[in-house]
Structure 1
Amino acid sequence: MSDVAAILKVMPVSPEIDLEVLKQAIENAVENDAFENITEEPIGFGLVALNVTIVVDDGEGGTEPVEEAIAALDDVQSVEVTDVRRLM
């Protein structure tokens, strides 16, 4: 099996959420060996999505544990996989 890089779009529950605190919570929720980085994506009306890049094994259910860990955070409304690419 090989590794894949996945981008997860994380939507906060409201524009009032402190993004720096949410970023830290996401980093803590994701295993250190899977986490790569987080970038901000303005959506509109003050809402900013976080694009979380992770590297996981391409086996069955690859991104599900990370998605579930992030979705369980209090300030997260939704988590969506937007891109998956095999690493060579």
Structure 2
Amino acid sequence: MTISKRHLVILSSVLVLLLIPFVAMQFSYEVNWSPFDFLVAGGLLLALGLSIDFAAHKAKSFNKKLIAIAAVVILFLLIWAELAVGIFGSPIAGN
């Protein structure tokens, strides 16, 4: 199985984005992520990147691509906000 260039760019982007909190943890006690936090953030970012790639290549017209990508980004932001601060009060919000 070979990995395409697009998927390699997505994976590299996720790793670079995860380096930001990792480096911040080295300089500040205010950033305190557990390995589970990195796993969840990496999974969310990877799902976002792969979903956008899928939507961009499967939709035929520009308008459909735009709507599909916007829906994916909005869903990502809602899940991220729920995990961060629990705006909906669901069980996945944590404490």
For the pair shown, the structure with the greater C-alpha radius of gyration is: 2
Report the TM-score range of the alignment, normalised by the length of the smaller protein: 0.3 to 0.5
TM-score normalised per structure 1: 0.32
TM-score in terms of structure 2 length: 0.31
Higher relative contact order (CA 8 A, sep 6+): 1
